[in-house]
């Protein structure tokens, strides 16, 4: 059995998995994003909750060895956390939305508390692993994963494995510059993909063209009712996304592009214009057919992927 945790600015998702199946899960609102003690206590509490009563000898173990309990069958805890990670030391470096985790030796703390193997990785990498193994990318070897939400997260799976680069900082796809002197990004640069293809970007585009929706879900609702301005918002956002995807496809020629996160709920409203611009900007006629699909596993993907870090 494996435990996976996905720590975010709004919620902490956790799952207990046996093979590829979730057997328990817990989702709680993040109690604090700035207080280390509170967030560590909450992380411990999530794990405690998942392993509660597992020390009963019969728990889910049809042919357990003598003396073996559910708890002793926990092979490890995988953790997905936002932002860049020092993978070797198991430290979260500069999480954009959970400041309390910055510089925290999270893997060590959890390992000492629960005396089991702990692997810490970036949350979008966990999303990618889950979708790659069990979700929309099942059976594919080369995958680009994107999560579109408050920001834009990215991950690369190449030859069936997460690609980290030299320092583990690869696949910051959201900070690929797609427009010179474009809008200012939260990272300090200008014109990053994230500034256009995220909740913030959609709100800003809506404002610029005078669309009346104030938040992406409202704009999406209007667009689905054929409101012209709302459709235009997704058209523009999709075109920016298409430029980013074309750059990635020209470099990597992946099998599939998987897109998750709340903004991806717009589906074809966003993917259609993205696909058109992407095709136009891809060099190889063969690569023009690269598929863009929605993620399949929903909100549990990050926690599932974190658990799979231990399994694989």
Chain residues that interact with Zn ion, rule: CB under 5 A = 175, 185, 187, 189, 192
Residue 185 beta carbon to Zn ion: minimum distance, rounded to whole angstroms? 3
Of 13 and 195, CB closest to Zn ion: 195
Count other C-beta atoms under 10 Å from residue 30's C-beta. Answer: 17
Residue 264 beta carbon to Zn ion: minimum distance, rounded to whole angstroms? 19
Residue 150 beta carbon to Zn ion: minimum distance, rounded to whole angstroms? 13
Of 143 and 178, CB closest to Zn ion: 178
Of 61 and 187, CB closest to Zn ion: 187
Phi, psi (5° rounding) for residue 41?
-60, -40
Residue 143 beta carbon to Zn ion: minimum distance, rounded to whole angstroms? 23
Residue 197 beta carbon to Zn ion: minimum distance, rounded to whole angstroms? 12
Of 64 and 96, CB closest to Zn ion: 96
Of 200 and 294, CB closest to Zn ion: 200
Of 121 and 194, CB closest to Zn ion: 194
Of 78 and 151, CB closest to Zn ion: 151
Residue 187 beta carbon to Zn ion: minimum distance, rounded to whole angstroms? 3
Residue 124 beta carbon to Zn ion: minimum distance, rounded to whole angstroms? 15
In whole angstroms, give the CA distance from residue 76 to residue 90. Answer: 14
């Amino acid at each position: 059995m494996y435990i996976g945790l996905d720590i975010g600015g709004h919620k902490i998702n956790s799952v207990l998995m046996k093979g590829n199946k979730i057997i328990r899960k817990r989702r709680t609102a993040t109690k604090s994003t700035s207080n280390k003690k509170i967030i560590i206590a909450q992380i411990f509490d999530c794990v405690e909750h998942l392993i509660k009563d597992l020390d009963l000898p019969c728990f889910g173990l049809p042919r357990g060895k003598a003396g073996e309990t559910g708890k002793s069958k926990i092979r490890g805890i995988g953790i997905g956390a936002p932002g860049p990670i020092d993978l070797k030391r198991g430290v979260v470096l500069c999480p954009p939305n959970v400041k309390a985790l910055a510089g925290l030796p999270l893997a060590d703390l959890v390992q000492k508390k629960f005396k089991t193997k702990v692997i810490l990785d970036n949350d979008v990498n966990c999303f990618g692993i889950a979708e790659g193994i069990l979700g929309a990318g099942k059976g594919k070897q080369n995958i680009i994963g994107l999560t579109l939400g408050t920001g834009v997260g990215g991950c690369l799976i190449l030859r069936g494995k997460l690609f980290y680069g030299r320092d583990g900082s690869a696949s910051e796809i959201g900070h690929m510059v797609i427009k010179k002197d474009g809008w200012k990004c939260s990272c300090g640069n200008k014109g990053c993909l994230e500034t256009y293809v995220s909740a913030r970007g959609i709100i800003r585009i809506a404002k610029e063209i005078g669309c009346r929706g104030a938040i992406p879900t409202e704009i999406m609702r209007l667009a689905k009712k054929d409101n012209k301005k709302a459709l235009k918002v997704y058209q523009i956002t999709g075109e920016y996304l298409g430029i980013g995807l074309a750059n990635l496809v020209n470099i990597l020629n992946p099998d599939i592009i998987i897109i998750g996160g709340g903004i991806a709920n717009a589906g074809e409203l966003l993917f259609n214009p993205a696909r058109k611009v992407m095709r136009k900007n891809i060099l190889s006629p063969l690569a023009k057919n690269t598929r863009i699909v929605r993620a399949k596993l929903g909100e549990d993907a990050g926690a599932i992927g974190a658990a799979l870090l231990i399994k694989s």
